[in-house]
Structure 1
Amino acid sequence: MKIRVPATSANLGPGFDSCGIALSLYLFIEVLGPNEKWEIIHDLGNDVPSDASNLMIETALSLAPNLTPQKIKMNSSVPLARGLGSSSSVIVAGIELANRLAHLNLSQQDKVEIATRIEGHPDNVAPAICGDFVVACYFPEKHKDDVSYVKHYFPEGDIIAFIPNKELLTVESREVLPKSFSYRDAVEASGIANVMIAALIKGNLPLAAKMMQEDRWHERYRQKFVPHLALIRQICQDEGAYGCFLSGAGPTVLILSPEEQTEKVMQSLRRIDDTARIEQLSIDREGIQVF
């Protein structure tokens, strides 16, 4: 059995903790067969456990404690701690591993709710499971573990990822966020998010990207961790891209661009940091797949 889980980008600017897209970078899992103990073969570095303490196995065992240990091969093109849902992809893979090996017959709704409970919010895990563009909300204190979500088609257009060669932990970037907003500021931020989502639904990528750059919820507070964001925003303006936004908590920045401007944008991005990984990506429409 093979499992493929896409990378994800959360927030899309003003869709904080709610909106996300699935992207064409992947975590691949291959179950090789029963083993005396859990063993994961990978080349992802010493920080990624190769035994039962791996997040994927911990997730699977939380759902099915009596699973027979397996030897598993893990490959991933999703960079760690870069704002592209690396931990979410592992959680989603663990849920599917338990689902298949223990014959749990989980629905998509079940998977989204379980993954959200583990991750804490649905913006990464929902698109990893469903694919494409997903808007979701989660209120555990009021509605148990219910997650409401809607999948929609993300408009066609080029997506460029600027992935710095440094990590940024989500917990660190969350500490700089304000504890509260004024009513007026919250209304403004909400209005921007609403227009962004409506523009995506209508297929108006230029307007959606404009709203993404007007985020009020988190980007202004996280800018000290991502000084390249302002430079990339200037490049977008100079080279005719639609706009850009922090991917999750960063430090990755995603740029939305018309096809005819993409190469110019990428050339300019390379001049910012020659150690950064710059890739042209596409939307993954399917979400998690099992082969």
Structure 2
Amino acid sequence: MEKIIVRVPATSGNVGNGYSSIGLALHMYYTVIVEEETEKWRVNHAFGDSVPHDDKNLVVQTILKVNPKIMPHQLTVMSDVPLEKGLGSSTTAIAAGIKIANKLENMNLSVNDQINIGSRMEGHPDNIASAILGDITISHYEDGKTDVVKAHMPDEMQALVFIRNEKITQKKGMERFPKEIKFAQEVQTSSASNVFVAALMQKDWDKAAHMVEADSLIRTGQGNDFKDFKVIQQTAHELGIYGTYISGVGSSIITLGDYDHLTTLQSKIENNDQLDGKCRLIDLDRDGATIRGED
């Protein structure tokens, strides 16, 4: 059979105040090569023993959830998306599984069908929408259906990703969020998100960047424990850079900007002994998940 190669970008969810709504695709990739049929599912990867090599692997579980009749195959996974670091590592596996199932069985799932499947599996649409579509996406998920708009970040935009050495699982991160929020805070959060999207559509990045940093549910949930964010944000402000936010539930901090500003910020972060982590300056992904066949 011809090999099928799927490539899915890393993603950042909860961009600014767009909690479980706004996602951003990043130029780091999870790649799956679908090889020959086998008696049992076999997944080759270098993640270690904590990630299954058989049908318990998330990409295989996704394939079978989309279509349980698909025969076992050998899969080879290569990835530079770090695990459990707020960069959509689980989303990449889910998106890849959806794409593979659609290809192997010629299911003709539309892009919206694929996003709906992924949103139902994850319970929120921000990461899966941007993983499949690329660039920045704004989504609404309700009753198993997702409405998505893909927007365009400025051409010169890059992301400086600070990946904390501390690992924060989804469960641990969610435990930091308040069980209830005040109505006034919800109004403030949603209005900031609205202005961010409107400014982005009008290509007013200066205003959009400030809205990224408006008080949000994410930082309220992290509380005073999240000192790395405050240090990076303050350092960025000293350089005149706005657009720093917490990606996902907190293992990564992202600052958006152009190359010249972000390289200066990167140098300062890497020389700051208060911060325990590493920086990566990366482009944004504009195209989303891709799939192709090779003879």
Q: Secondary structure at the match of 1:21?
A: strand
Q: Which of residues 103, 106, 113 is equivalent to 1:103?
A: 106
Query: Is the 2:11–2:24 contact (alpha carbons within 8 Å) kept by the matching residues of 1?
Result: yes
Aligned partners of 2:261, 2:220: CA distance in 1, in Å? 27
What are the residue-to-residue correspondences of 1:117-136 with 2, within 5 Å? 117-136=120-139
- Separation in 2, partners of 1:234, 1:255: 12
Q: Could you tell me which of 69, 73, 77 is aligned with 1:70?
A: 73
Maintained 8 Å contact 1:13/1:219: no
Q: Name the structure 2 match of 1:285.
A: 286
Q: Map 1:216-235; keep pairs closer than 5 Å.
A: 216-235=216-235
Alignment of 1:141-180 (within 5 A): 145-156=144-155, 157-180=157-180
Q: Which residue of 2 aligns with 1:272?
A: 272
Cα distance in 2, alignment partners of residues 179 and 269 from structure 1: 33
The aligned runs of 1:181-220 (5 Å cut-off) are: 181-220=181-220
Aligned length: 287
Partners of 1:64 and 1:5 in 2: CA distance: 20
Question: Using the alignment, how far apart are the partners of 1:124 and 1:246 within structure 2?
Answer: 14
CA distance in 1, matches of 2:32, 2:95: 11
Please give the secondary structure, in 2, of the residue aligned with 1:124: helix
3-state secondary structure, aligned to 1:197 = helix
TM-score (norm 1): 0.94
Q: Percent identity?
A: 33
For 1:224 and 1:51, the matched residues in 2 are separated by: 41
Of 16, 19, 24, which residue of structure 2 is paired with 1:21? 24
- Name whichever of 258-267 and 83-92 sits farther off: 258-267
Query: C-alpha distance in 1, partners of 2:137/2:27?
Result: 16
Q: Is the 8 A contact 2:245 2:254 kept in 1?
A: yes
For the 8 Å contact 1:82–1:163, the answer to whether it is kept is yes
In 2: Cα distance, 1:199 partner to 1:231 partner: 26
Query: Under a length normalisation based on structure 2, what TM-score does the superposition of the two structures give?
Result: 0.93
**Take 2:100 and 2:120, find their aligned partners in 1: how far apart are those partners?**
17
Q: What residue identity is the alignment partner of 1:219?
A: R
Q: Which runs of 5 or more structure 2 residues have no equivalent in the other structure?
A: none
Partner SS state of residue 75, structure 1: strand
* Distance (Å, rounded) in 1 between the aligned partners of 2:129 and 2:257: 25
Q: What residue ranges of structure 1 are gaps of 5+ in the alignment?
A: none
Deviates more, 1:85-94 or 1:170-179: 170-179
Q: Aligned to 2:84, what secondary structure does the other structure show?
A: coil
Verify the 8 A CA contact 1:237 1:243 in the aligned structure 2: no
Q: CA deviation at 1:223?
A: 4.0
The answer to whether the Cα contact below 8 Å between 2:177 and 2:220 also exists between their aligned partners in 1 is no
Separation of aligned partners in 1, 2:276 and 2:242: 25
The worse-fitting range, judged by mean Cα deviation, of 269-278 and 80-89 is 269-278
Q: Secondary structure at the match of 2:217?
A: coil
Residue aligned with 1:255, SS: strand
**Aligned-partner residue type, residue 154 of structure 1:** M
> Is 1:11 aligned to 2:14, yes or no?
yes
Residue of structure 1 in register with 2:245 after alignment:
245
**d(CA) in 1 for partners of 2:258 and 2:104?**
44
**Aligned-partner Cα distance in 1 for 2:120–2:44:** 28
Runs of 4+ aligned residues of structure 1 deviating over 6 Å after TM superposition are: none
How far apart, CA to CA, are the structure 2 residues paired with 1:27 and 1:215? 32
State the partner residue of 2:84.
81
CA distance in 2, matches of 1:41, 1:99: 21
SS of the residue 1:218 aligns to:
helix
Q: CA deviation at 1:111?
A: 0.2
What is the deviation of 1:275? 5.9
